[in-house]
Amino acid sequence: MILAELHHSRRNPLVRVQAQTVPPREEHASAQHEYLKTTEQRRNRYYRTDRGDENTVAARSSSNAQKKQRKGPVKEHQAMIWMSQVISAVYYMHTRGIVHRDLKLENIVIFPDEGIIKISDFGFARSVIRGDALSETYCGSKSYSAPEILKGEPYDPYKSDVWSVGVIAFVIVTDCMPYCEKRPNPQIVEAQRLRAYEYPAKLHLSAECRFSIDTMMTFSWRDRPNISHCGCLPWFQSLPPNASHGLKNPHSRLN
């Protein structure tokens, strides 16, 4: 049984994970709290996250059919700050052996009063005891799924989380999905292999931004960076102080 408590800490924006075999740890600023319950292998899992603001990044930045809101792409500088916080939160989870497996815009929540975003909905999250263990549970949202998941192959859940982070970044800065989820999986996989997406020229996105997103969406999971290396990508090198909520340089230790 795992009880994951994720909430705000001024001293150190880290995630606290409590379990029968996992000691209490620090907390992370970019995690949201609400109780979610799933059943896995005949055992109950409880994930505790904060409710907070219902203002999701999807509603703010993307073409969200469910919410019927369209506010256009987020400015690159703001997107860089948000994505740094997402990477920081995912990094903390990954170093504690927790993979999310359903990272998407709808699960990124804005807390405007605190100037931060938080990750929510841990319904598909799992604890990975062995860092090199491959998963064969295919879950998450098709639009954010890595090629290996769409192909039905055993996959590294850490690397599939990284792919999803790349898709999130792409949608935030372009206001469109890189691939059409209505197409059959083989067609999507081929489009992913060819990187058949474009950054609108009118947005004037920096080369650092485009390169960093492309890198997170590397087709082969073996060549895809882990989350620690994502924090060191060129886009985040101009990150302003404290942009990741309390960490002067949140990715300086991610090696």
| Residues identified as active-site | 102
The HSE-up count of residue 104 (CA atoms within 13 Å, CB side) is 19
Report the C-alpha gap between 39 and 27 in whole angstroms.
25
Residues 7, 13, 17, 22: what is their CA dihedral angle, to the nearest 10 degrees? -160
Angstrom CA distances, 171 to 83, 156, 164, 166, 177, stand at: 11, 23, 11, 9, 6
Angstrom CA distances, 211 to 40, 104, 236, 254, stand at: 38, 20, 11, 19
Report the C-alpha gap between 90 and 99 in whole angstroms.
8
Is 38 buried (19+), middle (13-18) or exposed (0-12) by CB count in 10 A? middle
Contacts of residue 136, defined as CB under 8 A and 6 or more positions apart, other chains included, come to 154, 155
